[in-house]
Amino acid sequence: MKDTYMSSDTNMSSDTSSKKPKKPVLKAVAPFKKPSQAEAEAAVRTLIAWAGDNPNREGLIDTPKRVVNAYKEWFSGYDADPAAVLSRVFEDVSGYDDMVVLRSINVESHCEHHIAPFLGMAHVAYLPTDKVVGISKLAKVVEIFSKRLQTQETMTAQIATTIDDALKPRGTAIMIEAVHECMATRGVKQPNVATITTRFTGEFKTNPVLQERFLNLVQRG
């Protein structure tokens, strides 16, 4: 059985002053000149040489190009707008007012501290008011945020904020469980520790019964 570390940001700030906590950044901000493909490949060759190998030997000659192409896929979330994904909604819900839950959405992300993968599952729920969104769009929002350099805590909050802003639901619940390779393969080397983060807003935050229903539903998976 995996050990778990749980982090919850249902109370994001203990500051009692009038300052409001900043909302998570939903769009990628890049106030710099993006390097070219050639510059990125040169950087990879430098790292290979720094690691102690010859970037010009046969087995490594094409590695810089492969790495850069992999980065394009792993970090494709910077080119997507999660709010736009949720812009198309459906208002004919025939009076449905219970939670909508997506369980076990794959999460493949990279920690911003070591650029090491963290892999796991996200569970997403919301309580609709007068509109719903296509369920695949919720999975897409998770994917967009996961395809960026992240911390799991930030990503959990970003997903909840995006859903709240786009759908104006009565509440949102997010739970992510993931294993971080930066902890599993280096440092303390604990491969069996899973990190769990949660975020509850609206009625999910104020109603313990709803929280328990959500957690029971997702933990069945």
Give tens-digit pLDDT for 162-205: 999 999 999 999 999 999 999 999 999 999 999 999 999 999 99
Q: What's the confidence (pLDDT) of residue 220?
A: 82
Other beta carbons within 10 Å of 218: 20
3-state helix, strand, coil in the chain (%, to 5): 40, 25, 40
Share of the chain above pLDDT 90, in %: 79
Alpha-carbon distances, residue 121 vs 105, 137, 160 (angstroms): 5, 16, 15
Q: What's the confidence (pLDDT) of residue 4?
A: 55
**Predicted TM-score (pTM) of this structure:** 0.85
Alpha-carbon distances, residue 88 vs 41, 97, 136 (angstroms): 39, 19, 12
Q: Are 195 and 180 in contact (CB under 8 A)?
A: yes
Q: Taking the CA of residue 204 as centre, how many other CA atoms within 13 Å lie in the half-sphere pointing to its CB?
A: 29
Give 32's pLDDT tier (boundaries 50, 70, 90).
Answer: confident
Give 92's pLDDT tier (boundaries 50, 70, 90).
Answer: confident
AA letter at 190: Q
Average pLDDT of the residues of the chain: 89
Whole-angstrom distance, CA of residue 78 vs CA of residue 65: 20
**Enzyme catalytic residues:** 111-114, 152, 180, 182
Phi and psi at 180, nearest 5°, equal -100, 120
Domains and CATH numbers, the chain: 3-10+80-219 (3.30.1130.10), 37-74 (no CATH)
pLDDT single digits (tens) 116-168: 999 999 999 999 998 999 999 999 999 999 999 999 999 999 999 999 999 99
The 3-class secondary structure across 84-118, one letter per residue, is HHCCCEECCCCCCCCCEEEEEEEEEEEECCCCCEE
Other beta carbons within 10 Å of 152: 23
Characterize the bridge pairing of strands 3-8 and 193-202.
parallel
Please choose, from the candidates 119, 202, 141, 195, the residue with its C-alpha nearest in 3D space to the C-alpha of residue 168: 202
Compute CA 122 distance to the chain's CA centroid, rounded to the nearest angstrom.
8
